[in-house]
Structure formats: structure tokens, C-alpha cells
Amino acid sequence: MNKRQQGGGENIDDPKQPLISILQRCLYWKTEAEGYFAGHAAGGNQSIRSERDIIDIPAALKYYIDRFFVRENKRVILIVCIDDRNGMMFHKRRLSKDRAQHKDMLKECSGKKLHMSSYSKKMFCGDMPGGIAVSEEFLEKAGEGEYCFIEDADISEYEEKIEAVILYRWNRAYPADVYFTLDLADGRWSRERMEEFEGFSHDRITKEVYKRAR
């Protein structure tokens, strides 16, 4: 797909341009939209959308600032449950669950928001201090230092947003077709602590906490 450009040849899709350029982009598209609507209205075209669809400059500016200058620098804490082969799901179902793991996770997140998908939320009956936030775009919405419980989400494009990983190991092997793909042994992560506890339906659950080393 060709890059869109303004008159001066500037690539208006480049998110790394200075803030003033973003404002210029908003003004540019507002002018283009106003001309479009005015032209079609003069020609009697009633099928176009209303003027409410013209770009709102403050809203557009806020979106660009959040998307390209703030959100990309936010770091979240990932929580994942895996089996002996890093499996997470099989046929769109989690491999396992355990009340003891739920309790430990909520204790770990106490005081901060825990983000998850609607699929994961079904496991929990109530809220926790700080609340449970449910969204299919929770990795996008999570704020600095907040927790994200991953079961059915692809984290590949969010790898640089991860500050730490809390890994729960079932210490069992299950059939799986979705795996945890983040390599915690590639030198970029350091294991800060490890502990084991007895589960409700598992003899032993291993908890490991990794932090980004570089």
C-alpha cells in the first residue's frame, strides 16, 4: 500500500514525526473533509454522511498523542498459565484452571487493575481491589504498571510493552494448539523469584516472576 503524502511530500502516516506535524495533519484532513462535504452538498448528493463525521481536531490530536507518544511507552505486567510445553489453550479452551492460582493472582494484583478478556472474566465471581477490567483490546488499554491476564490473546506485537511476566506452571503436560511464545531465556529477562504452592486441583503449582533486564 502506498504511503499517503501531503503537498510537501511528507509521509502523514509516519507516527514518529514531531507533535506540531501531528496537528498539521489534523488540520489538513479537516480541510479535506470540509471540502468533500461542501462539494457533494452543493451537487445535491444526499447519500454522504453528515458533517459530524468531519475530524474533531482535539479528539484526533489526543488520539495521536496517546497512540504514538504515550501508549507505546507504557509497560504492563503479564500473567500467564502454562503447561510443561508452554501450552496455553487447546481447541479454544484453556488447558486447566485452579482456585489456588486465582487466589494467588488476585493477591499479587491487589491495589492495581487487572485486565483480561471476557473469556477469562467468566472464571471470577467478584471484583478485586483496583477492579477487573474486561475488554477484547485490554493489551491496548492497560496502563503503566497494570496487570494483564493472558489466555487467548496474541502478545507478539506487544512484546516491547511488557515490563514483567508472572508465570504459573501447572507442572503437567496437556494437548495444546496455542502456546506462550515469549522467550524468557533469551537474555532480556531475569528471574526475580520462584515459589511453589499446593493447588486445589493440582499437586504443585510453580510461580515464577521475571523482569525485563534490558
Residues 59 and 120 in one domain: no
Chain segment 100-117, per-residue pLDDT in tens: 999 999 999 887 899 999
90, 93, 99, 105: CA torsion to nearest 10: 80
Residues 26 and 132 in one domain: no
Residues 47 and 97 in one domain: no
> Which phi and psi (to 5°) does residue 67 adopt?
-70, -45
Residues 98 and 134 in one domain: yes
Closest to 165 (Cα-Cα) out of 137, 141, 193: 193
What's the CA gap between 201 and 96, in Å, rounded? 9
Q: At what angle do helices 19-42 and 57-65 cross, to 10 degrees?
A: 140
Cα–Cα distance list, 95 to 78, 80, 170, 171, 202 (Å) = 18, 12, 9, 12, 13
Chain segment 156-212, per-residue pLDDT in tens: 888 889 999 999 999 999 999 999 999 999 999 999 999 999 999 999 999 999 999
Residues 89 and 180 in one domain: yes
Q: Whole-model pTM?
A: 0.66
Residues 162 and 93 in one domain: yes
Residues 103 and 203 in one domain: yes
**Is residue 98 assigned to a domain?**
yes
- The residue range of the domain holding 85 is 74-212
